[in-house]
Structure 1
């Protein structure tokens, strides 16, 4: 939904659904796959992650949807969902931004990298809230994967439930 901003209550509801689905997935993982799962979790925000989010905002004008996300969750580690998905902590986002700057996506005034997948592809969120995925380990070639952070999270939630 372009133009609409991410709502913290929606993120909390998404987290509850993802957490419930991950619990079911982890219970069936060993019998289904024949080996134990890794640590799969979406972690709720803490006082430390809130402080890290404030430091990130001081470092760069991050899109408001990313700030909203980090008000509710601090990060996600989903190594057993498809090839793996990871929402980076605000500390990691700040470290990456300090080292590499924003992702160089044409038409985006700022695009911090906030997530990755198990294949080494990076995800960045542009100033307009769109989510981009690098086709390689850099953003020389990237694709629009979601019109908003909410759409990106919805896609991720479907990936979790599709494995049940």
Structure 2
């Protein structure tokens, strides 16, 4: 993932969010929350993230480096991509290994949790070359392992981070048109 693609993506999300706030969220009977895309993480934050989680996928590091945290609390049910400090400080324990997805998969898959929606769903990217993105909805968690079922708990939502970002942008844009909620 290169800088230009990510910067363009962030700008497109900001445009869609502005439209959504103006045309959809403004009709709600409450004040909208703060919506942010970025700023990109500092090099020291990126270095700290790499040091704490040496297995973190390059695509996720690129998103952190060129986009940063994303907080869209009033878009659909909410969409969030976590800051480096949140990823490394809150989501990970000190045993030196990544979290995993267990059941219903045949083998445990190492993942990094990087985002969520407003309803408790988590988004995870696999460690390694592939970078498959999973949605973890109502999954159990114990001793570093998420588990669920194929019918609801663990779902592949994108083959890589590029596909995930495209789907997220499409979901924000669809919401901006008429309040449609797209399931990522």
Same fold by TM-score greater than 0.5:
yes
Cα deviation, residue 123, structure 1? 1.0
Question: Which of 100, 105, 129 is the aligned partner of 2:131?
Answer: 129
Aligned length: 157
What's 1:90 paired with?
84
| Unaligned 5+ runs, structure 1 | 1-5
Deviation sequence 1:12-67 (CA, Å, 0-9, x none): 110011111111221224543233221112112143xx322211111122000011
| Unaligned 5+ runs, structure 2 | 141-145, 149-153, 177-184
What's 1:112 paired with?
112
**What TM-score does the superposition give when structure 2 sets the normalisation length?**
0.77
What's 2:33 paired with?
38
Runs of 4 or more off by more than 4 Å in structure 1?
Answer: 106-109
1:72 aligns with 2:66: yes
Aligned alpha-carbon RMSD (Å): 2.0
Residues 81, 114 of structure 2: 8 Å contact kept: yes
Relative to its length, the structure with more helix (as a share) is: 1
What's 1:28 paired with?
23
Deviation sequence 1:112-162 (CA, Å, 0-9, x none): 111011111111110221111112154212111111111111111111111
**What TM-score does the superposition give when structure 1 sets the normalisation length?**
0.86
Pair 1:89–1:46, CA change in 2 (3 A): closer
SS in 1 for 2:19: helix
